[in-house]
Amino acid sequence: MQQLTQSVSDLVRTHVRDVYLKPTTKRGESTLAVNVGIVHKALGLHNLVPSVCAALNSKKFLEENGLRLVSRTGPPSGQSTTVTFTYEILAADAAHLPAVSPLIGLRGVAKGLFRELGGGENFIRSERNRFAGRREK
């Protein structure tokens, strides 16, 4: 038996990106529809429909690929082979963009301030000393 090196969610996300998103983007289309049952069958999965639904509805999938979920059709449970997700493609080259956290942009924002204060360690040491001095009084 062959071991999977990817999780089912990763497998689903990779399949949809390669088989659905990239060709749709190349054609210049702005929307994409993905049926859970077709993806489930194409990947040869058994009894993993909820995992496929979760992967296609995940924030990670949307952010990694520059997509916005427009609609989801199917039963109220949202866990069926009849569920179809429709996405809006937000960027033409979305399938090639890495997911970047907005917090990364804040990296080093206080670098200059800490330099003026003698470095981060020095600042923390002086704050601890001031705090400890106040408690003793």
79-132 tens-digit pLDDT: 999 999 999 998 755 445 455 556 666 666 677 777 777 887 888 888 888 888
pLDDT for 5 equals 64
CATH class name, domain 8-96: alpha beta
| DSSP for the chain, written as a single string | -PPPSS-HHHHHHHHHIIIIIHHHHHTT-SEEEEEHHHHHHHTT-SS-HHHHHHHHH-HHHHHHHTEEEEEEES-TT--STT-EEEEEE-STTGGGPPP--GGGGGTTTTHHHHHHTT-HHHHHHHHHHHHHHHHH-
pLDDT for 23 equals 92
* Domains of the chain by residue range: 8-96, 102-136
Q: pTM here?
A: 0.63
Q: What are 22-79's pLDDT values in tens digits? A: 999 988 899 999 999 999 999 999 999 999 999 999 999 999 999 999 999 999 888 9
